[in-house]
Structure 1
Amino acid sequence: MATRPQQPPLDRWFSSERTLGVAASVLVVAVTLTTWATAWSDWYSYQTVVRYGDDHDQLAEAAIVSGLLGIVAGVVLFASAAVFIVWLWRVRWNAEMFCRGEHRFTRGWVLGSWICPVVNLWYPKQVVDDIVAASDPRTPPRTESLRDVPGTRLVWVWWITWVVGLVTGNIVQRGVLGGATEAHDLRTNVILSTISAIFTTAAAVLAVQLIARIDELQTNRPWVPWWAAGERESGFQPPAR
């Protein structure tokens, strides 16, 4: 799946993705807020069952609140994911121009790594690792392979917290305990929901830091394509942006 980028057409140049990164960061924070709102609705449903038992009106009200918050959370998550992946796609393009090194996956995997089952537990991290490595000014422009560049602690911690939040929130809570009505099942549900919210919040904070870090790396690295890096002192002039 490794790919060595070919020389891009010169009508496409480096571009600052700071504005798109800020938009992605804002939406990531919004996801955190909706995650906590969903956790609250799970606690509310649990407390309703404990206090009111078979009161159908109270249970129906709790179900409506939970359903509405679930819809809002889903919309915000979709918007956040769309903007984040577009941002990731565009910083990947910059990274390919900064450095010749082979990325572990073709550019299509910038999207595919998130939606393919099972491999979405580690492929996105490797995509981001290669973007960070290629964007780092310390990485030589003609580096042959990016997989040999050591990963960063920020990416590792961000990805671990994201996966824990994903597993507890989506696979365990929604898949196994979705539709639970008994108090003891709902109690397990809300505990997992709270754990998911905690880890999702940590992942969101780290994602915002990661977005800022990649922007910083790409801003500080000279905007000279890898194939022209040796020509900078010989009169090479980049095309107008």
Structure 2
Amino acid sequence: MDRWFSSERPMGIAASVLVGLVTVTSWSTAWSDFNLYRTRRTYGDNADRWSEANLISGSLGIVAALALFAAAAVFIIWLWRVRWNAEMFCRGEHRYTRGWVLGCWLVPVVNLWYPKQVVDDIVAASDPRTDPLTTELKDVPGARLVWAWWLTWVTGLVTGNIVQRGVLSGASQLGDLRTNVILSSVSALFITGAAVFAVILIQRIDELQSMRPWVPWWAVGTPQNRFQPPAR
């Protein structure tokens, strides 16, 4: 088979940097919501002040959206590549085909749990403790790190995007603006937690794939086909 392993550490580092940028922009968005609330409370219906605060909020929202898009694109590319390695480390069947590495993030509803299961299978297949001839990766116990990353991410997503941006978008009343501040702050807090766990997870998968001998599962037991990744 014309396939081989590759180190995805550089792509993982790029994803980690962009994930960190998303954290910064999420807090800047929370600040812009607070600025809207403070402007309304301090200046009331002053049109100039309100327009200025809205302009800041809109501009930071665009920056946050661009940062999230860039981070998501690089993270999914990294995930696709480490999935490629994982398929060669272990013969175990992944719960979803490789197309779902991208699709699981785009399809509504299932994007609340499919991505976690995709990552669960990659971690299981990459772990040196997993027998390369294991047939079902779903039977391998999941890692608590993956749970921590996914729960914090989903919570941040729900509070930040579905509740705040969906229900309270365009809010101008003081009470609604106060609720916006609370929700955006909670969202930023959980997104920060998810970002920390994501960076640790990226490093962990890189370590697992580096520790495991780079030999495809179908060549297990054939010494001449074994290859160890270069030392760092």
Give the TM-score normalised by structure 2.
0.97
- In structure 2, runs of 5+ residues without a counterpart are none
Q: 1:210 aligns with which of 182, 201, 206?
A: 201
| 1:139 and 2:130 aligned | yes
After superposition, where does 1:42-121 map in structure 2 within 5 Å?
42-121=33-112
Alpha-carbon deviation of 1:230? 1.8
Q: Distance in 2 between matches of 1:206 and 1:75?
A: 21
| Aligned residues of 2:214 and 2:226 also touching (Cα < 8 A) | no
> Over aligned residues, Cα RMSD in angstroms?
1.1
Q: Distance in 2 between matches of 1:13 and 1:96?
A: 10
Q: Distance in 1 between matches of 2:130 and 2:52?
A: 57
- In structure 1, runs of 5+ residues without a counterpart are 1-8
Alpha-carbon deviation of 1:237? 5.6
**Residue 3 of structure 1 corresponds to which residue in structure 2?**
none
SS for the counterpart of 2:137 is: coil
| 1:165 and 2:156 aligned | yes
Q: Distance in 2 between matches of 1:230 and 1:99?
A: 13
Residues 237 and 167 from structure 1, CA distance in 2 versus in 1: closer, same or farther, beyond 3 angstroms?
Answer: closer
SS for the counterpart of 1:147 is: helix
Post-superposition Cα deviations, 1:123-154, rounded to whole Å, max 9, x if no partner, equal 00000000000000000000000000000110
| 1:236 and 2:225 aligned | yes
Task: Give the % identical residues.
Answer: 71
Q: Distance in 2 between matches of 1:197 and 1:181?
A: 21
- AA partner of residue 10 (structure 2): T
Q: Distance in 2 between matches of 1:15 and 1:229?
A: 18
Give the TM-score normalised by structure 1.
0.93
Matched pairs, number: 228
After superposition, where does 1:32-47 map in structure 2 within 5 Å?
32-47=23-38
| Aligned residues of 2:215 and 2:226 also touching (Cα < 8 A) | no
Q: Distance in 1 between matches of 2:201 and 2:41?
A: 42
**Residue 129 of structure 1 corresponds to which residue in structure 2?**
120
Post-superposition Cα deviations, 1:180-215, rounded to whole Å, max 9, x if no partner, equal 110000100110000000000000000000000000
**Residue 179 of structure 1 corresponds to which residue in structure 2?**
170
Post-superposition Cα deviations, 1:45-78, rounded to whole Å, max 9, x if no partner, equal 0000011111000000000000100010011110
Q: Distance in 2 between matches of 1:142 and 1:27?
A: 36
Q: Distance in 2 between matches of 1:182 and 1:30?
A: 31
Alpha-carbon deviation of 1:21? 0.1
